Chains A and B, each alone.
Chain A
């Protein structure tokens, strides 16, 4: 299962907080042709099996849900959650 939602929260020292909820599926559909083309070109240049590379990339993306990164430094904070 690929990630469905990426939540990004950035709190700046000025007190402003930016919250972003990024739905992954529409973004992935939009970027899929570009990413696929990029991977295929890179594989041809570096002589790597393109199918294997795309399969591995898919496996990495599918394993992303559950990832969480948070950084608090004084009055600045960054939080990224992949669901």
Chain B
């Protein structure tokens, strides 16, 4: 028996509430618990597994369609590769980034941060519409 249920029955036993009020409170409690369980279940089941990239465009009058489906698991595994980049390569990449006007230190990028980024992709939806092309990026 959970705490809230016990409290309601204690109040009934002490005469603080009537039997009808206790019944109302208990049914409200059950409704709330089932709603929480459903929400948790929906979230677990509805979690996206793939990142989809769909591009439709017209290249000199010829229709071009690109459809890519990448498992999010692959992105998660891929970010772990970042930890394997040799320090020499990071230094070179940093130097090139600085030269291109992007003063960004790749050494500061931790795999955990990249994993958080991939986790946040779950909610990503990007639509780009231009006269010649349509780009749609989303998770499913």
**Residues of A in contact with B (beta carbons under 8 Å apart):** 46-49, 52-53, 56, 59-60, 62-74
Closest to B65 in A: A72
Give 14 new A-B contacts, CB below 8 A, not counting A48-B84, A74-B63. Answer: A52-B84, A59-B80, A60-B77, A60-B78, A60-B80, A62-B77, A63-B74, A66-B49, A67-B70, A68-B69, A70-B68, A71-B66, A73-B59, A73-B63
Alpha-carbon separation in the docked complex, A56 to B80 (Å) = 7
Alpha-carbon separation in the docked complex, A53 to B83 (Å) = 9
B88 in contact with A68 (CB, 8 Å): no
21 residue pairs of the A-B complex, CB under 8 angstroms, read: A46-B86, A49-B84, A56-B81, A56-B84, A59-B77, A60-B74, A62-B77, A63-B73, A63-B77, A63-B78, A66-B71, A67-B69, A67-B70, A67-B71, A71-B65, A71-B66, A72-B63, A72-B64, A72-B66, A73-B64, A74-B62
**Nearest CB in chain A: distance from B54 CB, A:** 10
A73 in contact with B77 (CB, 8 Å): no
B62 in contact with A64 (CB, 8 Å): no
Nearest 9 Cβ contacts at the A-B interface: A46-B86, A68-B69, A63-B74, A63-B73, A74-B62, A59-B77, A66-B71, A63-B77, A72-B65
Q: Using Cβ atoms and an 8 Å threshold, which residues of chain B touch A68?
A: 67-69
Alpha-carbon separation in the docked complex, A48 to B86 (Å) = 7
Alpha-carbon separation in the docked complex, A72 to B80 (Å) = 32
Alpha-carbon separation in the docked complex, A53 to B81 (Å) = 8
Q: Using Cβ atoms and an 8 Å threshold, which residues of chain A touch B64?
A: 71-74
User: When each residue 22-37 of chain B gets 1 if its CB lies under 8 Å from chain A and 0 otherwise, what string results?
Assistant: 0000000000000000
B residues 80-98 with Cβ under 8 Å of A? 80-81, 83-84, 86, 88-89
